[in-house]
Amino acid sequence: MDMQGTRQLGISQQQAWEALNDPEVLKKCLPGCDRFESTGEGQYAVAMAVKVGPVSAKFTGKVLLSDIQPPSSYTLSFEGQGGVAGFGKGASSVNLTPNDAGCELGYTVQAQVGGKIAQLGQRLIDGAAKSIADDFFKRFDNEMQQRQVPAVPAAEDAAGEDGAPADASKPGWLSRLGIGRKD
């Protein structure tokens, strides 16, 4: 199976890089993921439930990052065993390119499956892989939106709580908290 695509992310390249290297974020965003734990530098143990057509299985495996070029790219190799359901292995390249709207994430995936899952047919496997990728990006977008700190409106920056001019050397929210005020 081969898959590639791009996604526009409304966050900076650095924010995307940090999130894509955070095991907790990946665990939250990968559908069916029960475990995504670091086992060493750029190595992770993974457990996730996967359903492809009528076959459901719990896969355990590992992920290894290589060719790491912070904050722009890495290669991710993976392999997993799902018991009688079969196995999966492959590699993915991830690229982050900054742009005016945040950054663009580009990815390619090459994977092989074997066992019962392989008997289901390429079209069903490709559809399940696309669905997992789409679900991952929806969850990732939601997670990044929850982590964003809302910007303080410019009108609030112009004056303190009492309407008096705020300390011009500090953002308005710092002045309202009393940080930087000379009382």
Please list the residue range(s) of the chain that carry CATH number 3.30.530.20: 2-147
Other C-beta atoms lying within 10 Å of the C-beta of residue 84: 8
Residue 101 has pLDDT above 90, yes or no: yes
Secondary structure class of 85 (helix, strand, coil): helix
> What local confidence, expressed as pLDDT, does residue 175 receive?
43
Strand-pair partners of 183: none
Residue 80 has pLDDT above 50, yes or no: yes
CATH number of 2-147: 3.30.530.20
The pLDDT tens digits of the residues spanning 44-57 come to 999 999 988 888 99
The pLDDT tens digits of the residues spanning 51-76 come to 888 889 999 999 999 999 999 999 99
85/107 Cα distance (integer angstroms): 27
8 A C-beta contact, residue 114 and residue 59:
no
Residue 123 has pLDDT above 50, yes or no: yes
Q: How confident is the model at residue 154 (pLDDT cuts 50, 70, 90)?
A: very low
